[in-house]
């Protein structure tokens, strides 16, 4: 019996644990709710608070600053690897996802779209899975369903869950969690704060996951816990006796916390007084946690290995049968169906597929059959699968019918109901972890029976076959996939929980070792030793004489019988003992007293032994009749061969007594036999009667079978009708979707809370929004809250509360800044899926209203204009009469002016003609009519002016000239060209320009001007030749000066070196020691090497200057050439003690001149070594981009020396050798021979090799970048 104090949960260790964490999630309206919660929350609860809000990824959050004003607790924005502390509030930063691992906050970048962003679910789930202590989850105001899955995970882990009540400004998030049944308490923020304060005083109770290893709650019985389980068995019909006690205890303590109970005994009384609590506890114990493609790596393995191996063993047309045990809400079954569909492809319609999915929870099975899931539940489904297997309905997703037809969902108890058979794959993931060893063994035996010989078992990551290794073998060490063993007999396991089995299991449980043995343990130890050393030979048999146990050595009295193995006592006992053993057991059963016999003879190995036996009846708690049989070997028989006459008489008397006892036993056996015969006769009659009853029952069953078949046919008919109705509903839905998408007016479907369920494309276009920002939000939250104005709220409020429809209600809406649209609103309430829905249409009449306003304004203007015209007509009539008289005078004057204008035109040296433009019906110029021209213009055509007037351009000019005139008329850009006349041998300049309503053409003789221009061009050409000659002379002068400077420098360096050599040579004879002579010789040799190097440079300079160098093209690996060169210079590099790096591909084949490339690289590397005192030198070569269609490679040599003077780079490198050298400045310092010659050689080698050279130099170093062709053509 459990002690009274065991009902207190004192087996937990609150010290050295992570801080209990309260995770709070919110979205729209969440800031107001969290503010209210913090205002009523004490600052010293000992809990850590983490607030996860939906934040914009592109804006900084000011939440820490705002919330810090509402609570004395420290408020901080979460940072990577920040340890949570009690009485602190942590806030998720923008554009980050966050998880918690053992009390440490882990930040990670927010995943980009199209990934569904669910930060609340992500943090809640990490808290439930990886935080090693109790957790509390709270969902506040917000839109959509983020937080629902997270609360479910926290509840399953044993934590407490809260949701905001109707005070939520945006109730979508809390309502989603409440609908899923994952919320323990629905309260206002103020009440949640009060409840948190209460829970903070019981952290040692709600921290459930860290139970001590020596906790005795698992090993010792708990009477109160047993009472609760018995009450559950009585009320809901489910026996949880063999479920893991820790899991059951965790769930019960969760319920106790909600009702403020401290002891299990108090909860026992509560559950008796509130029968509905038993059903709630039952639902709590059934852990419905699952997701699509749970454990991604395992599902990939199933898709690539497991399912193909199953299909491989299937004949064409043979059914594929899967069983998902403990399917919860069906995601795993549908995941397997998707994998099968993807693998089978087009064969899926011709292959029979049955996926049986079972679970204890009726509500979970109902949801699985419906196949409708929220956005948050779809987070692990790819976009491709989402489009292929799901249909979007409002803000949910529904499994397509073709996939639902593959799955059969049923409420089923794996441990008591008959299993399925001929199954190819059994998936039972994360169910066995909640069962003890007995139930696990039975479940695995059930799976073994259900599977085909080639069947596969899939378990969860924390599960194994354990003691059922004879049934299954693991196929992959990285995944919990097991193959069925066919050597073990497949049978349905019987009832479990027999006392023997339970005692056997209890006996195998490990007990914690004590340092000092208790008195009971000492007694047990002594008893075991005495029994093993002094126990008489004995056996335990049942009422059928089957031997159950052997004790001591029984080989003298028992031996195996030949033939089939048997443990029956009648077959194993020695021949002389069988009858007496049967009689002794019979007497012991009849009298319930021990019965025995002594002096029995047996022959063992040709030796007579004497034995006494004794049968002792035993009883056990199940009233099973057992017998303890004791054997004892006695001394020699009391009557031996040499006994006396008196002893012989005693022997006779004893034998007579035994004979009388035998007769009495025989008489008793005969009476019992007769009684047994009578009982058998009576039993036979009863059997005959029962047989007749069974025949009658069989006939009734046959009748019932026919009725069931008839009912089944009716059900099939009804099912077909339902299927037809379902297809019709699907067609209607698609039809309505098509209608909605083709309506040109902006159309919305909203629910009773005015949350948008569906919108068409026209709506998104008019209001400049998208689906993600529209669905599930209220109509007032759209965009920049364009519809959130009092007039619109009033009409929608009237419609929701009683109004049936709205027609033609006109409002003005700002659809975007500085753009107001006039909308006519039509709305009607309709019943959709038994829920009130509002269909809302926005008819854009902005253009219509503008047109009306414009027409009205025009009408008003026309009326005003008519009035004014009537007044003016009278006034103008008089004026016109006066003007007519004046017009006659003006016409006469115009005639005289026209004659004067014609005279002016005729006096012009150019021919002039003015054409009026002719337009077609589309106001497009098509031709021109000559209106005015001068005599020179008429002379060109050989006609009089009057004869040309009214002629069209197409009649006077060729098509090309007319096209030019049309182009000028359209583009309004003038045209000028000079034409040489072969007949008249002269040049004519033609100008075509556009005027108000026509084209003017002017032609002028420019022959004299043309000849003058040609003479001018000739003179300019001669002048340019003179300039080029002057520049060439200047360049030659500069080159001679430059060459002289180089030679002077070389002569000076050579003279200095020879002077040193001469002086050193003259001192050789004066040296007294060999060491001094050796040093002097080394100096001479060093200067000779310098002289040799300068002479080689001068020779190279001379050859390059005279153009004697020729290319010797061959194919070679330039990488190898450069590496060999660098190897040869290693001694010089080591002497300088500089950092030297080189990098390039191992193979770089080219066609070029290998010696010249080596000379080029050697020149640059040796110069770098010479002028770099500290730092590093780096050589790089690689492929380069194409130049045209020619491949190239790049050589880069850089150092950290003092750099090359910029004027030297300008003079030698930037200018082109002999042609464009700039003039030498008097300010330029004198050239050094090594510098100038080396640079000149490098430049000329690059030019000869057809490459390009770039030099970057400064006081911190020099970089030579050379681009060379990979082949020479």
Q: Share the mean pLDDT of the chain.
A: 78
Stretch 564-568: mean pLDDT: 84
| Confidence at 60, pLDDT banded by 50, 70, 90 | confident
CB neighbour list of residue 962: distance below 8 Å, 6 or more residues apart: 927, 928, 953, 954
Most confident of 416-420, 813-817, 1042-1046: 416-420
What's the pLDDT score for residue 570? 85
Q: How far is CA 664 from each of CA 599, 658, 671, 697, rounded to the nearest angstrom?
A: 19, 10, 11, 48
What's the pLDDT score for residue 1027? 64
Cα–Cα distance measured from residue 748 to residue 799, given in angstroms and rounded to the nearest whole number: 15
- State the DSSP code for 1069: G
Of residues 965 and 1010, more confidently modeled: 965
- pLDDT higher than threshold 80 for residue 104: yes
Sheet holding 1176-1187, edge to edge: 1139-1143, 1176-1187, 1190-1199, 1261-1269, 1252-1258
What's the pLDDT score for residue 36? 92
pLDDT digits (tens, 9 = 90+) for 844-853: 888 888 888 8
Cα–Cα distance measured from residue 574 to residue 558, given in angstroms and rounded to the nearest whole number: 6
**How many C-beta atoms lie closer than 10 Å to residue 211's C-beta?**
17
Same-domain check for residues 442 and 329:
yes
What's the pLDDT score for residue 322? 94
Instruction: Find the range with the poorest average confidence among 41-45, 188-192, 1172-1176.
Output: 1172-1176
Cα–Cα distance measured from residue 399 to residue 407, given in angstroms and rounded to the nearest whole number: 11
Burial 335-364, CB ≥16 within 10 A → b, else e: bbbbbbbeebeeebeeeebbbbbbbbbeeb
Q: Does a structural domain hold residue 888?
A: yes
From 863, 897, 931, the end of a domain falls on: 897
CB neighbour list of residue 1255: distance below 8 Å, 6 or more residues apart: 1204, 1209, 1213, 1262, 1263, 1264, 1265
- pLDDT higher than threshold 60 for residue 637: no
Same-domain check for residues 866 and 763:
no
What's the pLDDT score for residue 390? 93
pLDDT digits (tens, 9 = 90+) for 202-250: 765 555 444 433 344 444 567 778 878 887 777 777 777 777 777 777 7
Same-domain check for residues 396 and 493:
yes
Cα–Cα distance measured from residue 1100 to residue 1158, given in angstroms and rounded to the nearest whole number: 14
Q: How far is CA 1164 from each of CA 559, 1158, 1182, 1263, rounded to the nearest angstrom?
A: 104, 10, 17, 10
CATH of the domain at 214: 3.40.50.180
Half-sphere exposure of 52 (CA within 13 A, CB side): 28
- State the DSSP code for 575: T
Q: Does a structural domain hold residue 1012?
A: no
Question: Is 174 in contact with 187 (CB distance < 8 Å)?
Answer: no
User: Which uninterrupted H or E stretch holds 597?
Assistant: strand 595-604
Stretch 359-368: mean pLDDT: 87
From 716, 742, 768, the end of a domain falls on: 742
Q: How far is CA 584 from each of CA 540, 580, 670, rounded to the nearest angstrom?
A: 14, 6, 16
Cα–Cα distance measured from residue 346 to residue 462, given in angstroms and rounded to the nearest whole number: 36
What's the pLDDT score for residue 1049? 56
| Confidence at 491, pLDDT banded by 50, 70, 90 | low
Same-domain check for residues 736 and 748:
no
**How many C-beta atoms lie closer than 10 Å to residue 801's C-beta?**
8
What's the pLDDT score for residue 357? 92
Residue 262 tokens read as 């401290």
Question: Is 1231 in contact with 1237 (CB distance < 8 Å)?
Answer: no
| Confidence at 303, pLDDT banded by 50, 70, 90 | very high
| Confidence at 1053, pLDDT banded by 50, 70, 90 | low
Question: Is 737 in contact with 104 (CB distance < 8 Å)?
Answer: no
User: Which uninterrupted H or E stretch holds 1256?
Assistant: strand 1252-1258
Same-domain check for residues 355 and 496:
yes
What's the pLDDT score for residue 1227? 45
What's the pLDDT score for residue 1250? 84
Cα–Cα distance measured from residue 487 to residue 490, given in angstroms and rounded to the nearest whole number: 9
Of residues 577 and 896, more confidently modeled: 577
Orientation angle between helical segments 245-258 and 223-236, nearest 10 degrees: 80
Cα–Cα distance measured from residue 395 to residue 144, given in angstroms and rounded to the nearest whole number: 8
Instruction: Find the range with the poorest average confidence among 376-390, 740-754, 987-1001.
Output: 740-754
- Answer positive or negative: Cα dihedral of 465, 469, 472, 473: positive
Helix-, strand-, coil-residue percentages of the chain, each rounded to 5? 45, 25, 30
CB neighbour list of residue 665: distance below 8 Å, 6 or more residues apart: 583
Of residues 917 and 1, more confidently modeled: 917
User: Which uninterrupted H or E stretch holds 1031?
Assistant: helix 1007-1067
Question: Is 1114 in contact with 1251 (CB distance < 8 Å)?
Answer: no
Of residues 151 and 1018, more confidently modeled: 151
Of residues 1230 and 1037, more confidently modeled: 1037
Q: Does a structural domain hold residue 657?
A: no
Same-domain check for residues 482 and 377:
yes
Cα–Cα distance measured from residue 878 to residue 203, given in angstroms and rounded to the nearest whole number: 109
Burial 55-72, CB ≥16 within 10 A → b, else e: beeeeebebbeebbebbe
Question: Is 601 in contact with 633 (CB distance < 8 Å)?
Answer: no
What's the pLDDT score for residue 1222? 41
Cα–Cα distance measured from residue 133 to residue 208, given in angstroms and rounded to the nearest whole number: 7
What's the pLDDT score for residue 7? 37
| Confidence at 1086, pLDDT banded by 50, 70, 90 | low
Same-domain check for residues 121 and 146:
yes
CB neighbour list of residue 66: distance below 8 Å, 6 or more residues apart: 31, 35
Q: Does a structural domain hold residue 697?
A: no
CB neighbour list of residue 1188: distance below 8 Å, 6 or more residues apart: none
Same-domain check for residues 211 and 321:
no
CATH of the domain at 761: 3.30.450.20
Closest listed residue to residue 1209, CA positions, set 1246, 1245, 1244, 1236:
1236
- Answer positive or negative: Cα dihedral of 1087, 1093, 1096, 1097: negative
Question: Percent of the chain scored above 90 by pLDDT?
Answer: 12
Model-wide pTM > 0.85: no
Could you give the number of structural domains in the chain? Answer: 8
pLDDT digits (tens, 9 = 90+) for 1136-1156: 788 888 899 989 899 888 888
CB neighbour list of residue 871: distance below 8 Å, 6 or more residues apart: none
Q: How far is CA 407 from each of CA 85, 351, 404, 488, rounded to the nearest angstrom?
A: 48, 14, 6, 30
Q: Where are the beta strands (DSSP E) in 236-336?
A: 320-325
Q: Does a structural domain hold residue 607?
A: yes
- pLDDT higher than threshold 70 for residue 1035: no
Identify the three-state secondary structure at position 465.
coil
Same-domain check for residues 1152 and 1232:
yes
Q: Where are the beta strands (DSSP E) in 319-437?
A: 320-325, 353-359, 372-374, 390-393, 396-399, 407-411, 423-428
Cα–Cα distance measured from residue 1203 to residue 1182, given in angstroms and rounded to the nearest whole number: 24
Stretch 976-984: mean pLDDT: 79
> Residue 1196 pairs with which residues in a beta bridge?
1180, 1265
Q: Does a structural domain hold residue 1133?
A: yes
Give the residue numbers marked as catalytic: 27, 54, 146
What's the pLDDT score for residue 1041? 58
Helices of type H across 411-488: 437-450
Same-domain check for residues 600 and 713:
no
Cα–Cα distance measured from residue 609 to residue 891, given in angstroms and rounded to the nearest whole number: 172
Same-domain check for residues 151 and 277:
yes
CB neighbour list of residue 842: distance below 8 Å, 6 or more residues apart: 745, 746, 747, 748, 763, 766, 813, 823, 824, 825
Q: Does a structural domain hold residue 1024?
A: no
Cα–Cα distance measured from residue 195 to residue 258, given in angstroms and rounded to the nearest whole number: 9
From 259, 284, 309, the end of a domain falls on: 284
Q: Does a structural domain hold residue 812?
A: yes
CB neighbour list of residue 767: distance below 8 Å, 6 or more residues apart: 746, 782, 783, 786, 815
Identify the three-state secondary structure at position 551.
strand
What's the pLDDT score for residue 498? 37
Cα–Cα distance measured from residue 1019 to residue 1030, given in angstroms and rounded to the nearest whole number: 17
Closest listed residue to residue 427, CA positions, set 549, 333, 338, 346:
333
Residue 50 tokens read as 């983490």
Same-domain check for residues 1263 and 1119:
yes
Cα–Cα distance measured from residue 1101 to residue 1241, given in angstroms and rounded to the nearest whole number: 6
In the block, residue with structure tokens 């021979």: 1233
What domain range includes position 753?
Answer: 743-844
| Confidence at 342, pLDDT banded by 50, 70, 90 | very high
């Amino acid at each position: 019996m459990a002690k009274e104090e065991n009902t207190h949960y004192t087996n937990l260790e609150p010290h050295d644990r992570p801080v209990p964490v309260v995770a709070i999630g919110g979205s729209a309206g969440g800031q107001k709710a969290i503010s209210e919660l913090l205002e009523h929350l004490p600052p010293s609860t000992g809990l850590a608070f983490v607030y996860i809000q939906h934040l914009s990824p592109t804006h900084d959050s000011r939440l820490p600053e705002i919330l810090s004003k509402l609570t004395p607790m420290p408020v901080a924005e979460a940072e990577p690897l920040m340890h949570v502390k009690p009485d602190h509030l942590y806030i998720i930063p923008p554009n980050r996802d966050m998880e918690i691992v053992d009390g440490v906050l882990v930040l990670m970048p927010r995943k980009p779209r199209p990934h569904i962003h669910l930060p609340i679910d992500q943090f809640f789930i990490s808290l439930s899975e990886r935080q090693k202590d109790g957790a509390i989850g709270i969902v506040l105001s917000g839109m959509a369903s983020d937080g629902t899955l997270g609360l479910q995970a926290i509840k399953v882990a044993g934590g407490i869950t809260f949701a905001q009540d109707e005070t939520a400004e945006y109730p979508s998030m809390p309502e989603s969690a409440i609908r899923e049944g994952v919320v323990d308490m629905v309260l206002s923020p103020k009440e949640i704060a009060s409840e948190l304060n209460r829970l903070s005083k019981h952290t040692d109770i709600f921290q459930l996951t860290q139970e001590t290893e020596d906790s005795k709650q698992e090993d010792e019985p708990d009477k109160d816990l047993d009472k609760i389980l018995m009450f559950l068995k009585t009320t809901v019909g489910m026996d949880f006796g063999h479920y893991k006690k820790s899991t059951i205890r965790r769930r019960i303590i969760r319920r106790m916390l909600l009702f403020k109970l401290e002891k299990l005994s108090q909860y026992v009384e509560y559950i008796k007084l509130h029968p509905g609590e038993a059903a709630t506890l039952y639902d709590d114990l059934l852990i419905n946690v699952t997701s699509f493609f749970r454990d991604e790596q395992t599902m990939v393995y199933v898709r690539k290995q497991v399912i193909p191996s199953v299909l491989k063993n299937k004949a064409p047309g043979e059914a594929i049968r899967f069983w998902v045990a403990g399917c919860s809400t069906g995601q795993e079954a549908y995941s397997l169906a998707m994998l099968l569909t993807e693998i089978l492809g087009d064969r899926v319609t011709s292959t029979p597929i049955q996926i049986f999915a079972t679970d204890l929870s009726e509500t979970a099975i109902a949801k699985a059959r419906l196949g409708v899931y929220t956005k948050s539940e779809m987070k692990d489904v790819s976009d491709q699968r989402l489009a292929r297997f799901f249909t979007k309905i409002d803000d949910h997703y529904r499994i397509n019918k073709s996939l639902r037809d593959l799955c059969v969902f049923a409420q089923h108890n794996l441990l008591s109901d008959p299993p399925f058979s001929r199954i190819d794959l059994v998936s039972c993931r994360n169910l066995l972890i909640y069962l003890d060893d007995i139930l696990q063994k039975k479940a695995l035996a059930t799976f073994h029976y259900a599977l085909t010989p080639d069947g596969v078992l899939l378990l969860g990551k924390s599960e194994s076959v354990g003691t059922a290794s004879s049934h299954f073998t693991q196929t992959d060490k990285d995944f919990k996939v097991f193959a069925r063993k066919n050597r073990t007999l497949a049978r349905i396991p019987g009832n479990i929980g027999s006392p023997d089995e339970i005692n056997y299991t209890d006996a195998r449980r490990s007990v914690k070792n004590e340092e000092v043995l208790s008195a009971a343990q000492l007694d047990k130890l002594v008893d075991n030793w005495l029994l093993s050393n002094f126990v008489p030979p004995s056996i335990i048999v049942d009422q059928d004489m089957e031997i159950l146990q052997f004790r001591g050595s029984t080989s003298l009295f028992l031996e195996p019988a030949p033939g089939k193995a048997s443990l029956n006592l009648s077959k194993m006992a020695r021949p002389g003992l069988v009858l007496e053993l049967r009689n002794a057991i019979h007497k012991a059963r009849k009298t319930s007293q021990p019965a025995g016999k002594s002096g029995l003879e047996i022959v063992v190995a040709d030796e007579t032994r004497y034995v006494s036996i004794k049968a002792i009846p035993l009883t056990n708690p199940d009233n099973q009749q057992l017998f303890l049989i004791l054997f004892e070997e006695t001394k020699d028989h009391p009557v031996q061969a040499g006994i006396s006459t008196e002893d012989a008489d005693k022997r006779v008397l004893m034998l007579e007594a035994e004979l009388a006892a035998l007769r009495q036993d025989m008489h008793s056996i005969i009476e019992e036999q007769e009684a047994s015969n009578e009982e058998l006769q009576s039993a036979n009659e009863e059997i005959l009667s029962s047989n007749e009853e069974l025949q009658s029952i069989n006939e009734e069953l046959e009748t019932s079978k026919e009725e069931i078949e008839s009912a089944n046919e009716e059900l099939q008919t009804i099912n077909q009708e339902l299927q037809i109705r379902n297809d019709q509903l699907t067609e209607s839905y698609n039809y309505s979707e098509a209608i909605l998408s083709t309506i040109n007016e902006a159309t919305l479907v909203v629910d009773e809370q005015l949350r948008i369920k569906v919108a068409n494309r026209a709506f998104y276009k008019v209001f400049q929004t998208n689906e993600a920002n529209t669905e599930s939000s209220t109509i007032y939250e759209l965009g920049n809250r364009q519809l959130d104005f009092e007039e619109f709220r009033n009409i929608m409020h009237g419609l929701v509360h009683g109004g049936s429809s709205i027609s033609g209600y006109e409002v003005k809406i700002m659809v975007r800044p500085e753009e107001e649209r006039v909308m006519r609103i039509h709305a009607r309430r309709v019943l959709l899926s038994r829920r009130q829905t509002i269909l809302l249409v926005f008819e854009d009449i902005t253009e219509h209203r503008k047109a009306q306003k414009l027409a009205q304004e025009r009408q008003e203007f026309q009326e005003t204009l008519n009035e004014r015209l009537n007044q003016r007509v009278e006034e103008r009539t008089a004026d016109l009469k006066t003007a007519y008289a004046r017009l006659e005078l003006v016409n006469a004057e115009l005639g005289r002016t026209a004659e004067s204008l014609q005279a002016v035109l005729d006096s012009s040296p150019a021919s002039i003609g003015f054409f009026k433009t002719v337009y077609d019906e589309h106001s497009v110029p098509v031709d021109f009519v000559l209106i005015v021209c001068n005599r020179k213009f008429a002379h060109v055509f050989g006609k009089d002016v009057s004869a040309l007037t009214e002629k069209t351009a197409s009649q006077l000019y060729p098509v090309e000239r007319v096209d030019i005139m049309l182009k000028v008329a359209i583009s309004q850009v003038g045209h000028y060209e000079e034409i040489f006349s072969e007949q008249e041998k002269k040049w004519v300049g033609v100008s075509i320009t556009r005027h108000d309503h026509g084209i003017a053409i002017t032609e002028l003789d420019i022959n004299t001007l043309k000849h003058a221009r040609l003479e001018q061009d000739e003179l300019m050409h001669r002048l340019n030749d003179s300039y080029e000659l002057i520049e060439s002379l200047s360049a030659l002068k500069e080159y001679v000066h430059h060459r002289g400077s180089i030679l002077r420098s070389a002569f000076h360096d050579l003279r200095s070196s020879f002077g040193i050599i001469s002086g050193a040579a003259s001192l050789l004879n004066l040296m007294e020691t060999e060491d001094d002579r050796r040093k002097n010789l080394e100096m001479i040799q060093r200067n000779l090497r310098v002289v040799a190097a300068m002479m080689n440079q001068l020779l190279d300079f001379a050859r390059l200057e005279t153009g004697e160098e020729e290319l010797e093209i061959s194919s070679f690996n330039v990488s190898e050439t450069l590496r060999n060169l660098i190897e040869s210079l290693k001694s010089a590099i080591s002497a300088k003690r500089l950092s030297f790096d080189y990098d390039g591909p191992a193979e770089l084949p080219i066609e070029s001149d290998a010696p010249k490339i080596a000379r080029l690289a050697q020149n640059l590397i040796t110069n770098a070594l010479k002028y770099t005192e500290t730092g590093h030198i780096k050589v790089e070569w690689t492929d380069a981009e194409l130049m045209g269609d020619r491949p190239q490679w790049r050589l880069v040599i850089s150092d950290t020396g003092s750099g090359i003077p910029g004027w030297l780079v300008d003079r030698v490198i930037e200018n082109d050798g002999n042609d464009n050298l700039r003039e030498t400045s008097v300010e330029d310092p004198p050239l050094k021979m090594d510098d100038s010659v080396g640079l000149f050689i490098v430049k000329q080698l690059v030019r000869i090799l057809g490459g390009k050279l770039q030099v970057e130099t400064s006081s911190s170093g020099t970089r030579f970048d050379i681009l060379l062709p990979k082949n020479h053509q």
